[in-house]
């Protein structure tokens, strides 16, 4: 879906948030120029690397999030004028750089919009431009904490636990991309520029599931570990993990039809209320059943539509038939990392869209020529 | 975007929203937030389960006299949270006349979204291939667990269970723990909804340029896996199993979630570089490690954590946050929902607003994540009660005569109450 192929994007980013948004722009056909500090984008310095040898060209985080972009190295302290010209000639500026850095060098929205009235600018920061935390320092973990997602993940009695990766920044990247495309639609009609400021904390808090029940009914959810209840939770199987999903009557009947144990027809388990009352007994019975099954057996049940899912790892997913059918795994040749797999964007299933590898540092520095 | 003046990208577009649970409803709500008129379609015998599966009494603590499903249907705070701003119609899609109403609604619309199990739309005759005959330029987005392709098309997946087959689950977990961990809520739903929203917005741009609609096949699993794409690229390069990293960061050190004063109170702290570290030592002490460089801080992470926690556990999480932020170190109290509700930043930015629901009363709802600062979003319409706008939609938008609507209602083709079966 090369819907943005008429657009030029300048990405001035330091975190995964704007990097994800820029990656999605590139997947949608836009030309994305990543402005990196002379030492390279921070994602280039995040492990793991090819063969576990630190190399700013072969960081997996960089290869994934920066795929399809061009790279320009620029020192904002000495080359700000060139950066401003580059941005003024683009359609979209994506950034997650603090105002303290942007404003003094002419990259504030006020300065840029005066110079380039049709520019779209999307700025993602930990806490936004306004409010008492506007000047707070942030990180992925701190935004998960203040956005409410951290407290509810992990085991009761142990500390709250972040999920793997930069999930707060990923959510913000998705949200920033959607918001940016929304502004593209507005500009298509009006010809005018737009500014979008987005806070990672806001996005995290907006994406919280039980907010309504908490705010309006007084429930305060907490960490529940692997199992919410016997009919909704993760169980160990013979060689892995399986999630049983039978919290509604029809789902329970489906689960019974695959577990095939007469004991499940007992009065004790005959209604949702009684299943909750006899939760521990039910969980023990179901655990015995899951432990008797292999991932492969359970995977077959899942494909037939029984209410369960099976844990998969990178190896099994990269080789899975579903992704092959969907064309989701793209193999790209990278000058330093060699042939590597990169996942396509979630909406690229079945699309012929080409994904290019992440850029070598400064591979497009010629774009600065003549910009001062 | 500006909510007060109505300068919104999807103004003038209409969405048929045949969605259930969380991902689809959230997608529909975001399309509303961006200016579209969204009509939520539900069948009386198959309403959005979010109306009824969660027993409100479990939260109110009044388990003595549980509410019936019918009593729960219009006050569910799950349903009402993710369907704010929509119109609602209750129509029996399995009836040919009900199906025709669906097709007529599509003809008057620009976008269809649905997140039923693949196959459901074909069974009812409301799939893309069915509606495209009468509405050739429709944008039709299906959001499912695994996508519309075999072999995993028919596998069932909700936003939390889908975390297992995404790869995320096996990566989650406490530091070096053998047991993985699941995200504490249905994380596949919001991520899938945002991915689907992006796809729909791109399709709208294509439609405005070319006049062509299209079918979109979005999988929640794919959206979750994309968020840990690093792990897949790593595997393809190295083929090495990685141990779980808990709350630690690949570069920052120390980083952790530390016990604060009080029951189950915690503070998250990230030290990004040497400057942060010197600033933290200036506040916390931990002088044994004052001169530790990044390598040394990583090598001695456990001991440093212990030194930091000795300090944090004597202090309130919010005070720690304030002291560390004052010297520029990323730190934040680990908020629960009650604290989030009154968080000064959320409040100052207008993240939450009150709205009056006709049955529940005053509800506090999140506003659009794009409406912040000087662009607030006034909330105008709560989530629809079941079938609340039947008459308005059928006589207005579809131009039916009132007596026809009366007949449809009498014959159970449309209804403004759910039909209950089982517990």
Q: Report residue A363's pLDDT band, with 50, 70 and 90 as the boundaries.
A: very high
Average pLDDT, chain A: 95
Mutate to test the interface with A, among B26, B55, B68, B184 (most CBs of A within 10 A): B184
| Per-residue pLDDT at A354 exceeds 60 | yes
Sheet holding B266-270, edge to edge: B255-259, B266-270, B331-333
DSSP B403: H
Compute and round to an integer the Cα radius of gyration of chain A.
Answer: 24
Tell me if chain B has a CB within 8 Å of the CB of A336: no
Contact residues, chain A, for B54 at CB < 8 Å: 213
Compute and round to an integer the Cα radius of gyration of chain B.
Answer: 25
The full set of domains in chain A, from first to last, is 8-207+328-368 (3.40.50.10540), 227-312 (3.30.1540.10)
Q: Which residues contact B319 (CB under 8 A, 6 or more apart)?
A: none
Nearest CA in chain B to A160: B257
Q: Are A307 and A246 in contact (CB under 8 A)?
A: yes
Q: Are A109 and A195 in contact (CB under 8 A)?
A: yes
3-state secondary structure of B152: coil
Nearest CA in chain A to B159: A209
Cis peptide before A48 (omega within 30 of 0): yes
Nearest alpha-carbon partner for A201 in B328, B128, B349, B53? B349
pLDDT at B64: 61
Q: Which ipTM did the prediction report? A: 0.97
| Per-residue pLDDT at B59 exceeds 50 | no
Inter-chain residue contact B345 with A315, CB threshold 8 Å:
no
Residues pairing with B269 in the sheet: B256, B331
Tell me if chain B has a CB within 8 Å of the CB of A117: no
3-state secondary structure of B72: helix
Q: Which residues contact A94 (CB under 8 A, 6 or more apart)?
A: A9, A10, A11, A12, A13, A18, A21, A22, A25, A122, A124, A176, A180
| Domain B255-341 grouped into CATH 3.10.20.310 | no
Which whole number is the average pLDDT over A171-199? 97
pLDDT above 70 covers what percent of chain A? 99
pLDDT digits 0-9 by tens, B232-268: 999 999 999 999 999 999 999 999 999 999 999 999 9
Inter-chain residue contact A318 with B226, CB threshold 8 Å:
no
| Per-residue pLDDT at B65 exceeds 90 | no
Tell me if chain B has a CB within 8 Å of the CB of A151: yes
* Tokens standing for residue A293: 């099954």
Inter-chain residue contact A322 with B149, CB threshold 8 Å:
yes
pLDDT digits 0-9 by tens, A8-34: 999 999 999 999 999 999 999 999 999
Q: Report residue A248's pLDDT band, with 50, 70 and 90 as the boundaries.
A: confident
Nearest alpha-carbon partner for A142 in B332, B325, B343? B332
| Per-residue pLDDT at A320 exceeds 50 | yes
pLDDT digits 0-9 by tens, A129-184: 999 999 999 999 999 999 999 999 999 999 999 999 999 999 999 999 999 999 99
Contact residues, chain B, for A323 at CB < 8 Å: 222
DSSP B90: E
Which whole number is the average pLDDT over B198-223? 97
Domain boundaries, chain B: 14-226+353-410, 255-341
Which whole number is the average pLDDT over B326-352? 97
Work out how many CB contacts closer than 8 A connect A with B.
473
Q: Are B205 and B130 in contact (CB under 8 A)?
A: no
pLDDT at B294: 95
pLDDT at A222: 87
In the CATH scheme, what is the homologous superfamily, with its name and number, of domain B14-226+353-410? Crotonobetainyl-coa:carnitine coa-transferase; domain 1 (3.40.50.10540)
Contact residues, chain A, for B216 at CB < 8 Å: 347
Å between A299 CA and nearest CA of chain B: 9
Q: How far is CA A128 from CA A140, B62, B389, in A?
A: 14, 40, 38
Q: Report residue B62's pLDDT band, with 50, 70 and 90 as the boundaries.
A: low
Nearest CA in chain B to A181: B201
Task: Provide the pairing of β-strand B139-144 with B111-114.
Answer: parallel
Q: Which residues contact A319 (CB under 8 A, 6 or more apart)?
A: none
In DSSP notation, A53-94 reads: ---TTSBHHHHHHTTT-EEEE--TTT-HHHHHHHHHTSSEEE
Cα A209–Cα A201–Cα B230 angle in degrees, nearest 5: 85
Q: Report residue A236's pLDDT band, with 50, 70 and 90 as the boundaries.
A: very high
| Per-residue pLDDT at B423 exceeds 70 | no
Which whole number is the average pLDDT over A312-327? 96
Average pLDDT, chain B: 94
- Closest Cβ–Cβ partner in B194, B217, B364 for A178: B194
Q: How far is CA A364 from CA A15, A314, A367, B233, in A?
A: 21, 33, 6, 24
Alpha-helix runs per DSSP H in B239-316 = 274-284, 294-299, 301-312
pLDDT at B68: 81
Nearest CA in chain B to A309: B161
| Per-residue pLDDT at B56 exceeds 80 | no
Cis peptide before B385 (omega within 30 of 0): no
Tell me if chain B has a CB within 8 Å of the CB of A219: yes
């Amino acid at each position: 879906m090369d819907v943005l192929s008429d657009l030029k994007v300048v990405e001035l980013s330091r975190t995964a948030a704007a990097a994800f948004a820029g990656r999605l722009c590139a997947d949608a056909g836009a030309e994305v120029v990543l402005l990196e500090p002379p030492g390279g984008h921070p994602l280039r310095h995040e492990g793991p690397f090819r063969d576990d040898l630190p190399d700013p060209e072969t960081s997996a985080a960089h290869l994934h999030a920066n795929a399809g972009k061009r790279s320009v190295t620029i020192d904002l302290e000495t080359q700000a004028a060139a950066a401003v010209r580059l941005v003024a000639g683009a359609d979209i500026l994506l950034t997650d750089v603090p105002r303290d850095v942007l404003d003094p060098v002419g990259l504030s929205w006020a300065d840029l919009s005066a110079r380039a009235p049709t520019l779209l600018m999307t700025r993602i920061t930990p806490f936004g431009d306004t409010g008492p935390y506007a000047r707070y320092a942030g990180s992925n973990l701190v935004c998960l904490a203040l956005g409410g997602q951290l407290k509810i993940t992990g085991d009761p009695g142990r500390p709250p636990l972040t999920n793997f990766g930069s999930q707060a920044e990923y959510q913000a990247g998705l949200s920033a991309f959607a918001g940016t495309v929304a502004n593209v639609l507005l500009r298509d009609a009006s010809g005018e520029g737009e500014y979008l400021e987005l806070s990672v904390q806001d996005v995290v808090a907006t994406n919280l599931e039980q907010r309504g029940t908490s705010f309006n009914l007084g429930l305060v959810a907490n960490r529940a570990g692997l199992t919410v209840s016997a009919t909704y939770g993760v169980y160990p199987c013979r060689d892995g993990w399986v999630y049983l999903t039978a919290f509604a009557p029809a789902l329970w009947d489906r689960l019974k039809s695959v577990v095939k144990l007469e004991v499940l027809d007992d009065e004790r388990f005959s209604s949702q209320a009684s299943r909750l009352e006899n939760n521990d007994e039910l969980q023990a019975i179901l655990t015995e059943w899951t432990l008797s099954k292999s991932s492969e057996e359970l995977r077959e049940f899942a494909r037939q539509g029984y209410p369960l899912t099976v844990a998969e790892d990178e190896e099994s997913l990269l080789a899975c038939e579903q992704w092959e059918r969907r064309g989701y795994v793209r193999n790209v040749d990278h000058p330093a990392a060699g042939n590597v797999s990169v996942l396509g964007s979630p909406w690229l299933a079945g699309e012929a869209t080409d994904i290019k590898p992440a850029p070598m540092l400064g591979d497009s520095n010629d774009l600065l020529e003549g910009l001062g | 975007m500006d909510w007060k003046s109505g300068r919104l990208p999807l103004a003038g577009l209409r969405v048929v929203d045949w969605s259930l649970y969380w991902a689809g409803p959230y997608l529909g709500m975001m399309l509303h937030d961006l200016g579209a008129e969204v009509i939520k379609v539900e069948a009386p015998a198959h309403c959005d389960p979010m109306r009824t599966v969660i027993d409100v009494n479990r939260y109110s603590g009044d388990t003595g006299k549980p509410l019936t499903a019918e009593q729960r249907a219009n006050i569910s705070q799950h349903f009402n949270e993710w369907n704010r701003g929509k119109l609602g119609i209750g129509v029996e899609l399995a009836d040919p006349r009900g199906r025709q109403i669906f097709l007529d609604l599509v003809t008057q619309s620009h976008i269809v979204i649905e997140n039923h199990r693949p196959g459901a739309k074909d069974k009812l005759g409301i799939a893309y291939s069915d509606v495209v005959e009468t509405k050739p330029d429709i944008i039709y987005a299906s959001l499912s667990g695994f996508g519309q392709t075999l072999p995993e098309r028919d596998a069932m997946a909700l936003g939390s269970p889908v975390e297992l087959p995404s790869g995320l689950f096996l990566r989650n977990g406490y530091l070096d723990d053998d047991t993985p961990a699941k995200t504490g809520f249905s994380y596949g739903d919001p991520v899938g909804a945002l991915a689907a929203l992006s796809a729909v917005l791109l399709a709208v741009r294509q439609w405005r340029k070319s006049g062509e609609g299209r079918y979109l096949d979005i999988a929640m699993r794919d959206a979750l896996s994309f968020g840990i794409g690093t792990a897949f690229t790593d595997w393809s390069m190295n083929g090495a199993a990685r141990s779980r990293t808990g709350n630690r960061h690949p570069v920052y050190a120390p980083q952790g979630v530390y016990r604060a004063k009080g029951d189950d109170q915690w503070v998250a702290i990230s030290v990004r570089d040497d400057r942060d570290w010197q600033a933290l030592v200036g506040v916390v002490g931990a002088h044994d490690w004052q001169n530790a460089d990044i390598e040394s801080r990583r090598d001695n992470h456990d001991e440093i954590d212990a030194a930091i926690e000795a300090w944090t556990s004597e202090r309130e999480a919010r005070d720690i946050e304030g002291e560390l932020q004052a010297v520029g170190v990323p730190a934040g109290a680990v908020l629960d929902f009650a604290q989030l509700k009154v968080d000064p930043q959320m409040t100052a930015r207008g993240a939450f607003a009150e709205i009056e629901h006709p049955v529940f009363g005053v509800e506090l709802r999140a506003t659009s994540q794009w409406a912040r600062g000087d662009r607030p979003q006034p909330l105008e319409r709560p989530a629809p009660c079941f079938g609340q706008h039947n008459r308005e939609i059928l006589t207005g938008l579809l131009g039916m005569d009132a007596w026809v609507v009366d007949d449809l209602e009498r014959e159970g083709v449309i209804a403004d109450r759910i039909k209950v079966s089982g517990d």
